[in-house]
Protein backbone atom coordinates (compact mmCIF):
# COMPACT_ATOMS: atom_id res chain seq x y z
CA UNK A 1 0.00 0.00 0.00
CA UNK A 2 2.78 2.39 0.92
CA UNK A 3 4.48 1.62 -2.39
CA UNK A 4 1.32 2.47 -4.32
CA UNK A 5 0.88 5.75 -2.42
CA UNK A 6 4.51 6.64 -3.11
CA UNK A 7 4.09 6.01 -6.85
CA UNK A 8 0.94 8.16 -6.94
CA UNK A 9 2.60 11.00 -5.03
CA UNK A 10 5.67 10.88 -7.27
CA UNK A 11 3.48 10.96 -10.41
CA UNK A 12 1.58 14.01 -9.15
CA UNK A 13 4.81 15.88 -8.39
CA UNK A 14 6.23 15.02 -11.81
CA UNK A 15 3.04 16.18 -13.52
CA UNK A 16 3.00 19.49 -11.65
CA UNK A 17 6.68 20.04 -12.46
CA UNK A 18 6.11 19.32 -16.14
CA UNK A 19 3.19 21.74 -16.25
CA UNK A 20 5.29 24.42 -14.52
CA UNK A 21 8.14 24.02 -17.02
CA UNK A 22 5.76 24.00 -19.96
CA UNK A 23 4.04 27.15 -18.70
CA UNK A 24 7.41 28.81 -18.32
CA UNK A 25 8.31 28.24 -21.96
CA UNK A 26 4.85 28.57 -23.47
CA UNK A 27 4.68 24.94 -24.65
CA UNK A 28 1.91 22.36 -24.62
CA UNK A 29 1.25 20.69 -21.22
CA UNK A 30 1.32 16.99 -20.41
CA UNK A 31 4.59 16.11 -22.04
CA UNK A 32 4.13 18.26 -25.16
CA UNK A 33 7.28 18.97 -27.16
CA UNK A 34 9.03 22.09 -25.89
CA UNK A 35 12.11 22.92 -27.98
CA UNK A 36 14.52 25.67 -26.96
CA UNK A 37 13.60 27.46 -30.18
CA UNK A 38 10.21 28.31 -28.67
CA UNK A 39 11.92 31.20 -26.86
CA UNK A 40 12.25 33.09 -30.16
CA UNK A 41 9.41 32.81 -32.66
CA UNK A 42 9.06 34.41 -36.09
CA UNK A 43 5.98 35.00 -38.20
CA UNK A 44 6.25 36.04 -41.84
CA UNK A 45 3.13 37.41 -43.54
CA UNK A 46 2.32 38.99 -46.90
CA UNK A 47 0.17 42.05 -47.62
CA UNK A 48 -3.09 41.24 -49.37
CA UNK A 49 -3.50 43.67 -52.32
CA UNK A 50 -7.24 42.98 -52.43
CA UNK A 51 -7.79 44.63 -49.06
CA UNK A 52 -7.76 48.31 -48.12
CA UNK A 53 -5.11 49.26 -45.59
CA UNK A 54 -2.39 47.04 -44.16
CA UNK A 55 -3.96 43.61 -44.13
CA UNK A 56 -1.42 40.78 -43.92
CA UNK A 57 -2.04 37.06 -44.37
CA UNK A 58 0.13 33.97 -44.06
CA UNK A 59 0.13 33.14 -47.78
CA UNK A 60 -1.62 34.19 -50.99
CA UNK A 61 -2.66 31.04 -52.81
CA UNK A 62 -3.67 30.54 -56.44
CA UNK A 63 -7.32 31.06 -55.54
CA UNK A 64 -6.47 34.33 -53.74
CA UNK A 65 -4.36 36.56 -55.96
CA UNK A 66 -1.72 36.50 -58.73
CA UNK A 67 0.93 39.23 -58.87
CA UNK A 68 1.74 40.69 -62.29
CA UNK A 69 5.16 41.60 -63.77
CA UNK A 70 6.47 44.80 -62.17
CA UNK A 71 4.03 44.63 -59.23
CA UNK A 72 5.27 45.20 -55.68
CA UNK A 73 4.96 42.55 -52.95
CA UNK A 74 5.17 43.61 -49.28
CA UNK A 75 6.07 41.28 -46.42
CA UNK A 76 5.84 41.81 -42.67
CA UNK A 77 8.18 39.92 -40.34
CA UNK A 78 7.37 39.68 -36.63
CA UNK A 79 9.95 38.40 -34.15
CA UNK A 80 9.03 37.79 -30.51
CA UNK A 81 10.93 36.59 -27.47
CA UNK A 82 8.47 34.28 -25.69
CA UNK A 83 10.95 33.15 -23.04
CA UNK A 84 11.68 34.54 -19.60
CA UNK A 85 15.20 35.76 -20.34
CA UNK A 86 16.71 38.28 -22.78
CA UNK A 87 18.14 36.86 -26.00
CA UNK A 88 21.23 38.45 -27.57
CA UNK A 89 22.50 38.85 -31.13
CA UNK A 90 19.13 38.36 -32.84
CA UNK A 91 19.70 38.52 -36.59
CA UNK A 92 17.47 37.64 -39.50
CA UNK A 93 18.48 36.57 -42.99
CA UNK A 94 15.80 36.88 -45.65
CA UNK A 95 16.10 34.96 -48.93
CA UNK A 96 14.29 36.57 -51.86
CA UNK A 97 12.70 34.53 -54.66
CA UNK A 98 14.63 34.66 -57.94
CA UNK A 99 11.63 36.14 -59.76
CA UNK A 100 11.70 39.30 -57.61
CA UNK A 101 14.07 42.20 -56.92
CA UNK A 102 14.64 44.05 -53.66
CA UNK A 103 13.07 47.54 -53.53
CA UNK A 104 14.88 50.13 -51.38
CA UNK A 105 13.07 52.97 -49.59
CA UNK A 106 14.59 55.32 -52.16
CA UNK A 107 12.76 53.43 -54.90
CA UNK A 108 15.94 51.90 -56.25
CA UNK A 109 15.61 48.30 -57.42
CA UNK A 110 18.42 45.86 -56.72
CA UNK A 111 18.88 42.30 -57.87
CA UNK A 112 19.61 40.79 -54.44
CA UNK A 113 18.98 37.27 -53.24
CA UNK A 114 19.72 37.69 -49.55
CA UNK A 115 19.24 40.48 -46.97
CA UNK A 116 20.52 40.49 -43.40
CA UNK A 117 19.25 42.67 -40.55
CA UNK A 118 20.36 42.79 -36.91
CA UNK A 119 17.96 43.42 -34.02
CA UNK A 120 20.45 43.20 -31.17
CA UNK A 121 18.89 42.04 -27.90
CA UNK A 122 15.24 41.10 -27.40
CA UNK A 123 13.97 41.32 -23.85
CA UNK A 124 11.49 38.82 -22.43
CA UNK A 125 8.09 39.34 -24.10
CA UNK A 126 9.48 41.93 -26.56
CA UNK A 127 8.45 41.94 -30.21
CA UNK A 128 10.07 43.65 -33.19
CA UNK A 129 8.78 44.15 -36.71
CA UNK A 130 10.35 44.60 -40.11
CA UNK A 131 8.73 45.32 -43.48
CA UNK A 132 10.23 44.11 -46.73
CA UNK A 133 9.19 45.22 -50.22
CA UNK A 134 10.14 43.38 -53.40
CA UNK A 135 9.15 43.89 -57.03
CA UNK A 136 8.22 41.15 -59.45
CA UNK A 137 10.65 41.07 -62.38
CA UNK A 138 9.61 42.18 -65.85
CA UNK A 139 7.63 39.93 -68.15
CA UNK A 140 10.68 39.32 -70.36
CA UNK A 141 12.30 37.18 -67.67
CA UNK A 142 9.21 35.48 -66.27
CA UNK A 143 8.15 32.02 -67.39
CA UNK A 144 4.85 31.79 -69.25
CA UNK A 145 1.71 31.04 -67.28
CA UNK A 146 1.58 30.95 -63.48
CA UNK A 147 4.30 30.30 -60.93
CA UNK A 148 2.76 29.44 -57.58
CA UNK A 149 3.97 27.78 -54.39
CA UNK A 150 7.42 26.79 -55.62
CA UNK A 151 10.82 28.23 -54.54
CA UNK A 152 10.57 30.91 -57.24
CA UNK A 153 7.60 32.43 -55.39
CA UNK A 154 8.33 31.69 -51.73
CA UNK A 155 10.01 34.19 -49.43
CA UNK A 156 11.91 32.59 -46.54
CA UNK A 157 13.32 34.14 -43.38
CA UNK A 158 15.74 32.53 -40.93
CA UNK A 159 16.49 33.99 -37.49
CA UNK A 160 19.74 33.39 -35.61
CA UNK A 161 20.36 34.21 -31.94
CA UNK A 162 22.96 33.45 -29.28
CA UNK A 163 22.56 30.03 -27.66
CA UNK A 164 19.49 29.29 -29.78
CA UNK A 165 18.93 26.99 -32.74
CA UNK A 166 17.96 28.72 -35.99
CA UNK A 167 14.25 29.17 -36.59
CA UNK A 168 12.45 30.10 -39.81
CA UNK A 169 9.18 30.88 -41.54
CA UNK A 170 7.97 31.30 -45.12
CA UNK A 171 5.33 33.17 -47.06
CA UNK A 172 4.13 31.97 -50.45
CA UNK A 173 2.51 33.85 -53.32
CA UNK A 174 1.70 33.46 -57.02
CA UNK A 175 2.95 35.25 -60.14
CA UNK A 176 1.15 35.27 -63.47
CA UNK A 177 2.59 36.27 -66.82
CA UNK A 178 -0.28 36.86 -69.22
CA UNK A 179 0.47 36.04 -72.84
CA UNK A 180 -0.95 38.68 -75.19
CA UNK A 181 -3.11 37.42 -78.03
CA UNK A 182 -4.04 34.18 -76.31
CA UNK A 183 -7.78 33.78 -75.87
CA UNK A 184 -7.74 30.22 -74.51
CA UNK A 185 -6.10 29.55 -71.20
CA UNK A 186 -3.36 26.89 -71.34
CA UNK A 187 -4.00 23.59 -69.61
CA UNK A 188 -3.09 23.47 -65.92
CA UNK A 189 -0.15 20.99 -65.94
CA UNK A 190 1.56 22.69 -68.88
CA UNK A 191 1.90 26.18 -67.47
CA UNK A 192 1.05 25.90 -63.78
CA UNK A 193 3.90 25.06 -61.46
CA UNK A 194 2.53 24.19 -58.04
CA UNK A 195 4.96 22.14 -55.97
CA UNK A 196 2.75 21.18 -53.07
CA UNK A 197 5.39 19.00 -51.46
CA UNK A 198 7.96 21.79 -51.50
CA UNK A 199 5.44 24.27 -50.11
CA UNK A 200 4.44 21.98 -47.26
CA UNK A 201 8.08 21.20 -46.50
CA UNK A 202 8.90 24.90 -46.22
CA UNK A 203 5.82 25.63 -44.13
CA UNK A 204 5.18 25.20 -40.44
CA UNK A 205 3.18 26.73 -37.50
CA UNK A 206 3.35 30.54 -37.49
CA UNK A 207 3.62 32.90 -34.54
CA UNK A 208 -0.04 32.60 -33.60
CA UNK A 209 -0.57 29.05 -34.83
CA UNK A 210 -2.31 30.18 -38.05
CA UNK A 211 -0.17 28.18 -40.46
CA UNK A 212 2.20 25.28 -40.67
CA UNK A 213 5.66 26.87 -40.32
CA UNK A 214 8.86 26.60 -38.31
CA UNK A 215 9.29 29.07 -35.45
CA UNK A 216 11.66 31.70 -34.50
CA UNK A 217 13.24 41.29 -37.49
Distance CA 83, CA 118 (A): 19
CB-based contact 86:120 (threshold 8 Å): no
Integer distance in angstroms from the first to the last C-alpha of the chain?
A: 57
Has residue 26 got a pLDDT over 50?
A: no
Instruction: State mean pLDDT over 54-76.
Output: 94
Q: How confident is the model at residue 72 (pLDDT cuts 50, 70, 90)?
A: very high
pLDDT digit string, tens, across residues 5-19? 444 444 433 444 433
| Other beta carbons less than 10 A from residue 15's beta carbon | 13
Has residue 213 got a pLDDT over 70?
A: no
Q: What pLDDT was estimated at residue 136?
A: 94
Has residue 88 got a pLDDT over 80?
A: yes
Distance CA 194, CA 215 (A): 24
Average of per-residue pLDDT values in the chain: 74
Q: What pLDDT was estimated at residue 179?
A: 62
Has residue 82 got a pLDDT over 70?
A: yes
Q: What pLDDT was estimated at residue 208?
A: 41
Distance CA 161, CA 124 (A): 14
Q: How confident is the model at residue 1 (pLDDT cuts 50, 70, 90)?
A: low
Global pTM value? 0.66
pLDDT digit string, tens, across residues 101-149? 998 888 888 888 899 999 999 999 999 999 999 999 999 989 888 998 7
CB-based contact 176:69 (threshold 8 Å): no
Amino acid sequence: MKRILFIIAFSVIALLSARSVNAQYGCAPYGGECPVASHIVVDKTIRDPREKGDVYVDNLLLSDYQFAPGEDVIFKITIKNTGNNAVDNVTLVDTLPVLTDYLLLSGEVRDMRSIEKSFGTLQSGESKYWYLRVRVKGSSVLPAGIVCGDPNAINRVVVHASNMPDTSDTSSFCIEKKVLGVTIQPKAGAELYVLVAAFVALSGVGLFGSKLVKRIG
